[in-house]
Structure 1
Amino acid sequence: MTGPTTPWPGTAGGIGSDDTGGDGTGGLAGGDDELRERLADAVAAVDAPDVVFAVSRDGRRTLHCGGAAPPPPVPRQDLRYEIGSASKTFAGLLLARLIQRGLLTGGEPAAALLDPRRRTDPAAVTLAHLVTHTAGLPTLPPDFYPRALPAWRTNPYGRYGAERVTGAFLRHRARHRPGTRWQYSNFGVAVLGHALAAASGTTWEELLGAHILRPLGLTGTALRAEDPKADAVGHGKDGRTPTLPFDAGGFAAAGAVRATPLDLLTFLEAHLDPAGSPLAGALRAVRTPVLRRGLGHRHVHTMAWFRHPTNGGPMYFHSGATLGQQAFLGFRPDTGTALVALCTRRFRARDAFIASAYAFLADE
């Protein structure tokens, strides 16, 4: 693996009407018949209580909803879904926004922001390391598992709050120099969120709202369950057992976002057309490769997205899961296409949901 290039000065380099089978078209432009048929097939292939596939192609939106369960009282296209680790795309965009506005450089040591009295290590973990998963941190803090185990199937993250996350980071001694190895880390992005909040003197929720949600008009996006009628209900691996609303605990920046399909399309459309957005500079920044790793540098990452090649150009994507829901977000500038795929079931590893969503976008 190679460390990230230097995108930031001072860094050392571097985680719908709605019925089964019917398509929701509320406020959506009609797509062509082939696209509608592909969406219907994609939804039908996912064995989950609720499924939504939504596509924006050159600004024209087409959405299809379905699922194994009866339609909920609120149309599926209007529910807010837990997107899990896809929340990291919001965290990356937020950091890019703060850098573009000159409030940060990305090279700030995270420990110094969290504890100003702390002596700075010459090989300190920076904000850039955290957002690119090159901070030398494990996926989760070492003491996360014994604390989470009693609530492993119901509320594991909720038992590990903000102070525990930052405390574990400040105690951690990395085995590798920051910026030299890549390891996907919920821990690292969670720390990033707390460091940005500390730097701004506000909460993560307020910071995200002020710099991302309100400028983009994402009124259907939040960081916690607020209304049982408006929030999609997740289900376990059997597809039948309901799960509790996801509580991210101290890991909000790494996985707390929940949003409607249309809000997520708006979010992705801004990435496709940065010029028309109030966040233009930040949106361009998160499309720029900052890290290449693997044999032949095949794996390319930006501040917020995984980036894979297609025949026509790069596609950007990120998936996520909570205890009872899964999500896939992706976009392709070469075809002007964005895809949001959501379902209310937690599938096992290597599931068909993520694979089919990825293939759908790759084949556009």
Structure 2
Amino acid sequence: MKTEWTGDADLVRTVGRAFRAQAAAVAVISPGRELTAMIGAGSDSLFEIASISKALTGMVYQDATERCLVSPTTTLRELLPLENHGEVGSVSLCSLAIHRSGLPGLPPGMHPLRRNLKFLVRGENPYGDSLAELLDQTRGLRLGTPKPKYSNLGFQLLGHAVAKAAGSSYEQLLHDVLGPGFSTPFRAEDLGEADLTGFGRFGRPIAAWVGEAVAPAGGVRADISTMRGFLRSVLDGTARGLSALDPVADFTPRVGIGAGWITLEHRGRPITWHNGASGGFSSWIGLDRDAGTGVVVLSAVHKSVDRLGFRLLTEFTPTSESTT
């Protein structure tokens, strides 16, 4: 395994000073050039992109609305077998996409505290459920106030509901809409040699967070080549479901949300972004759409890379002086 940063010299100099990781990969696209840097990984090494999965799911959802497979007011019970599950069936897809459905972050029927304890003590994967098990966990679930509240459960249901509307699995729909480079393994046995092992903050290897149910909210894997190509397609406008990036509601004061994607002002410029963190991985994707610049950071360590992502986006965005 490589122990030194490799790739484009300008980017290697920047990220080599910024952080250390056992395995990481970074891609930058700006007008006229694309840069990649890697350590402990190749261009085809697969990382958990964690909650960046939600940004992909938002685009899959928007694409489905544009193709009239669903509408924003379509409810979950119209697509998933939730007829006898109570209030959860009445939730609309549009409310899920902007984290305003009234759903909790995770279903109580999942026993999240018990699972989190097993993860902390034994490093076990807390998200190995099937779709059928996830739906069963929502039985009798009561909705809260429909105000902004980040919900993994909401995006799990959104992704699987849209896939059902398309007559597909979530992974196949992801391939059809955004390309074949993304994977959503159900079991640890499904992982291959290219799948990296993630590590906790203190260096402990962490079991892969895999599972059918979690895929649309945090179970997608991708290599840096796939993420760079995806980033390019978003910046050049060829990606499907691009309207997911456009903010349609407030998420917090001065922070907007589209279908999964977050928008805010950073150093006086509007930035569209999402981050991710699983037990052993961290990730970040961000775009300055006006400047045509984007950054992806993938790390096989549970330690935030948000600060690096924002800094790289600032450093590699052309200034007004350099573009005149």
TM normalised by structure 2 equals: 0.86
Letter in 2 for 1:232: L
Letter in 1 for 2:193: K
User: Which residue is 2:59 aligned to?
Assistant: 93
Q: Does 1:171 align with 2:140?
A: yes
Q: Does 1:104 align with 2:70?
A: yes
Deviation larger for 148-157 or 330-339:
148-157
Letter in 2 for 1:23: T
Q: Does 1:331 align with 2:291?
A: no
By how many angstroms is 1:167 displaced?
A: 2.6
What are the within-5 Å matches in structure 2 for residues 59-98 of structure 1? 60-66=33-39, 71=40, 75-98=41-64
- Is the CA contact 1:237–1:345 (under 8 Å) kept in the aligned structure 2? yes
- Is the CA contact 1:56–1:337 (under 8 Å) kept in the aligned structure 2? yes
Q: 1:288 to 1:278 in 2, by over 3 A?
A: closer
User: Which residue is 1:292 aligned to?
Assistant: 250
What are the within-5 Å matches in structure 2 for residues 345-364 of structure 1? 345-347=301-303, 351=304, 353-363=305-315, 364=317
By how many angstroms is 1:293 displaced?
A: 4.0
Deviation larger for 313-322 or 141-150:
141-150
Count of aligned pairs between the two proteins: 309
Q: Does 1:344 align with 2:300?
A: yes
Letter in 2 for 1:63: T
By how many angstroms is 1:199 displaced?
A: 2.3
| Structure 2 SS opposite 1:76 | coil
Q: 1:278 to 1:91 in 2, by over 3 A?
A: closer
Q: 1:170 to 1:337 in 2, by over 3 A?
A: same
User: Which residue is 2:257 aligned to?
Assistant: 301
- Is the CA contact 2:27–2:296 (under 8 Å) kept in the aligned structure 1? yes
Deviation larger for 112-121 or 313-322:
112-121
User: Which residue is 2:92 aligned to?
Assistant: 126
Unaligned runs of 5+ in 2: 318-324
User: Which residue is 2:321 aligned to?
Assistant: none
Unaligned runs of 5+ in 1: 1-17, 26-32, 214-218
By how many angstroms is 1:311 displaced?
A: 5.0
Letter in 1 for 2:195: D
* % same residue: 28
What are the within-5 Å matches in structure 2 for residues 1-364 of structure 1? 19-24=2-7, 36=10, 39-58=12-31, 60-66=33-39, 71=40, 75-115=41-81, 117=83, 124-144=90-110, 145=112, 148-149=115-116, 151-152=118-119, 153-158=123-128, 160-176=129-145, 178=146, 181-213=147-179, 219-224=180-185, 226-239=190-203, 241-274=204-237, 277=238, 279=240, 282-283=241-242, 285-295=243-253, 298-310=254-266, 313-347=269-303, 351=304, 353-363=305-315, 364=317
Matches of 1:361 and 1:130 in 2, distance apart? 29
- Is the CA contact 1:112–1:118 (under 8 Å) kept in the aligned structure 2? no
By how many angstroms is 1:77 displaced?
A: 2.6
- Is the CA contact 1:52–1:261 (under 8 Å) kept in the aligned structure 2? yes
- Is the CA contact 1:80–1:221 (under 8 Å) kept in the aligned structure 2? no
By how many angstroms is 1:175 displaced?
A: 2.5
- Is the CA contact 2:27–2:295 (under 8 Å) kept in the aligned structure 1? yes
Matches of 1:248 and 1:227 in 2, distance apart? 12
Q: Tell me the alpha carbon deviations over residues 39-92 of structure 1, each in whole angstroms, 9 at most, x when there is no partner.
A: 4332443232112221111252111223xxxx4xxx433211110001111100
| Structure 2 SS opposite 1:314 | strand
Matches of 2:297 and 2:158 in 1, distance apart? 26
By how many angstroms is 1:129 displaced?
A: 0.8
Matches of 1:106 and 1:86 in 2, distance apart? 22
By how many angstroms is 1:116 displaced?
A: 7.1
- Is the CA contact 2:86–2:140 (under 8 Å) kept in the aligned structure 1? no
- Is the CA contact 1:234–1:323 (under 8 Å) kept in the aligned structure 2? yes
User: Which residue is 1:15 aligned to?
Assistant: none
By how many angstroms is 1:156 displaced?
A: 0.9
Letter in 2 for 1:264: M
Q: Tell me the alpha carbon deviations over residues 134-167 of structure 1, each in whole angstroms, 9 at most, x when there is no partner.
A: 0111111113225525642221111x33223223
Matches of 2:86 and 2:72 in 1, distance apart? 15
Cα RMSD (Å): 2.6
- Is the CA contact 2:97–2:258 (under 8 Å) kept in the aligned structure 1? no
By how many angstroms is 1:264 displaced?
A: 0.6
